[in-house]
Structure 1
Amino acid sequence: MNPLDFILEPLQYEFMIRALLTTAIAAIVCALLSCWLVLIGWSLMGDAVSHAVLPGVVIAYVLGAPFALGALVFGFLAVALIGAIRNTSRVKEDAAIGIVFTTLFALGLVLISVTPSDTDLNHIVFGNILGVSPADLTQITILAGIAFVVLIAKRRDLTLFAFDPTHAHAIGLNPRLLGALLLGLLALTAVVALQVVGVILVVAMLIIPGATAYLLTDRFGRMLIIAPTLSVGCASLGILLSYWLDAASGGLVVLVQGAVFGLVYVCSPRHGLVGKLRDRARGRAARTQLSA
């Protein structure tokens, strides 16, 4: 088998085509949202929502309802509970997030353990991208399309909210409403990525692309291009590697994204370790010349 045949072999199978397409769709919308999450500092909130949807998925399975419906309900429930605890008690936001997401995630694990099922519900936790059906692909495409359109349509307002909520309020925007919109999109996007990498690793797809792009550029507009581009490339490579290595697809998607982040962290021209060491060396050389 020549190298080209080896590379193209996975594309001969319909399930691999669906997996690559689904992963690319999820990667784009997750990467776009991750740009705002990284700027605002809502990484932990992404972790909370992605874990909190687990009981909703299990309950939806028991009731015969679409997984996405149950996940959305519990995603919004998690956001509401975190806000209620933060606003009506002395407990700070980080503690409220930890309480809500661990409790709901534990509830989901308990429900999985006591729910009789012909389906392996552990796929909810770890993802099952290679088992995506045409109906799943349609559902994911619709949800991702909704999130994508809203993010693009409101990108200016959301960006101003991320950089300066006070200024946003001064020009007539409602920061509380924009924050709620972003949290709603977070819940929706977590559902999109659920099928790809599972509950546990969703947060990686929601954070790593934006963090990587943040190290590569100082312009937010460029972040919105770099993050999805890198995310789609990494996710596609992860799926192909899972075929060639016969390994967990969701785990490899995240591993490739993490490896690219590590490379950028070291080698980014301006914000990487190498760039910083180079700037320090130049600064020392300049000071030495001045003192001489």
Structure 2
Amino acid sequence: MRAALAVTLTAGIVCGVLSCWLVLVGWSLMGDAVSHAVLPGVVLAYVVGAPFALGALLFGLLAVTLIGAVRDTSRVKEDAAIGVVFTTLFALGLVLISVTPSQTDLNHILFGNLLGVSRTDLVQVLALGAVALGVVLLKRRDLTLFAFDPVHAHAIGLSPRRLGALLLGLLALTVVVALQAVGVVLVVALLITPGATAYLLTDRFARMLWISPLVAAACGTVGVFASYWLDTSTGGTVVLALGAAFALAYLFSPRHGLVATRIAGARRRRPARSPASAPSTT
């Protein structure tokens, strides 16, 4: 349980910080693509006896490269390129799982195995998480400018293409970190839901960078302990906690929640009361 909690907190904080930029840039589908595309890399790493993280990182970068190549060298738009690449690589991973003789249940790659995290896995996640978080914090100003105004970033000497490549590389690295926590299928929830929740709660990006990882860490803690007491899937329970947090923000956010906007709309539509007639003096 201690190892599961440590891995969940690390993955949640790193994903929570990165998800702020993914939500602003509009790369939610890209996060989904990379999280699924790493599956064949993990299986091949198992076959050759290499660390899972190495195979996942290589195929995450491969997916990003292929999506960019298809987008830039054909008439196919980015969303279609993402769909083609990630479904093909994900299917390749499923085929490799089906033909790979293994005494280990490789299905935990898909759905996570938090309670089976070893000491080696824990050290690996902590190291990769520290690298990803350090690079994000070091380049946060450039990445923020790229997210809000890439034209201005180019005008002051920054390269939007390089910053985009850096963000995609960080995405691939972060997927490797989160993979140990919730598996391939649910990684996208950690990458998107905390940032989307924070986006509903504040209009300032600096606050988003605090709110998003705090939401991810809190939901991760609640999910781990709830799964213990309810005897449920740990990764699935963590993601359900994230979904519940988003639902609360969606409904009750002070400025952007559904309840607040409906109340404000009703007040605007309410007809103004006519002033009371002054008493006659005659």
* TM-score bin, normalised by smaller chain: over 0.9
The structural deviation recorded for 1:284 is 2.1
Identity, % of aligned positions: 71
The answer to whether 1:238 aligns with 2:223 is: yes
Residues 114-140 of structure 1: CA deviation (Å, up to 9, x unaligned): 000010000000000111111100000
The one-letter code sitting in structure 1 at the alignment partner of 2:105 is: D
Aligned pairs for 1:100-179 within 5 A: 100-179=85-164
Distance 1:70 1:281 in 2: 54
Distance 1:63 1:234 in 2: 36
Distance 1:172 1:182 in 2: 18
Residues 1-25 of structure 1: CA deviation (Å, up to 9, x unaligned): xxxxxxxxxxxxxxx0111011001
Distance 1:200 1:290 in 2: 59
Distance 1:142 1:220 in 2: 27
The structural deviation recorded for 1:241 is 1.0
The structural deviation recorded for 1:88 is 0.7
The answer to whether 1:198 aligns with 2:183 is: yes
The answer to whether 1:283 aligns with 2:268 is: yes
Distance 1:248 1:181 in 2: 34
The structural deviation recorded for 1:290 is 7.5
When the two structures are superposed, what TM-score results if normalisation uses the length of structure 2? Answer: 0.96
SS in 1 for 2:87: helix
The one-letter code sitting in structure 2 at the alignment partner of 1:252 is: T
Q: Number of paired residues? A: 276
Residues 154-185 of structure 1: CA deviation (Å, up to 9, x unaligned): 00100000000000000110000000000000
The structural deviation recorded for 1:283 is 1.3
Aligned to 2:74: 89
The answer to whether 1:20 aligns with 2:5 is: yes
Distance 2:231 2:136 in 1: 36
Distance 1:178 1:33 in 2: 14
Aligned to 1:50: 35
SS in 1 for 2:142: helix
When the two structures are superposed, what TM-score results if normalisation uses the length of structure 1? Answer: 0.93
Distance 1:215 1:88 in 2: 37
Q: Which deviates the most, 276-285 or 225-234? A: 276-285
Larger Rg: 2
Aligned to 2:250: 265
Residues 190-249 of structure 1: CA deviation (Å, up to 9, x unaligned): 000001100000000000000000000000000000001111000111111111111111
Match of 1:98 among 79, 83, 96: 83
SS in 2 for 1:288: coil
Aligned to 1:215: 200
Distance 2:83 2:266 in 1: 42
Distance 1:41 1:104 in 2: 22
The structural deviation recorded for 1:278 is 1.6
Aligned pairs for 1:238-257 within 5 A: 238-257=223-242
SS in 2 for 1:197: helix
The structural deviation recorded for 1:74 is 0.2
Distance 2:49 2:253 in 1: 48
More helix by share: 1
Specify every segment of 5 or more residues in structure 1 that has no aligned partner in the other structure, as ranges: 1-15
Distance 2:61 2:273 in 1: 60
Match of 1:180 among 157, 165, 169: 165
Change (3 A) 1:200 1:288: same
Residues 58-117 of structure 1: CA deviation (Å, up to 9, x unaligned): 000000000000000000000000001001111100000000000000000000000000
SS in 1 for 2:101: coil
**CA root-mean-square deviation:** 1.1
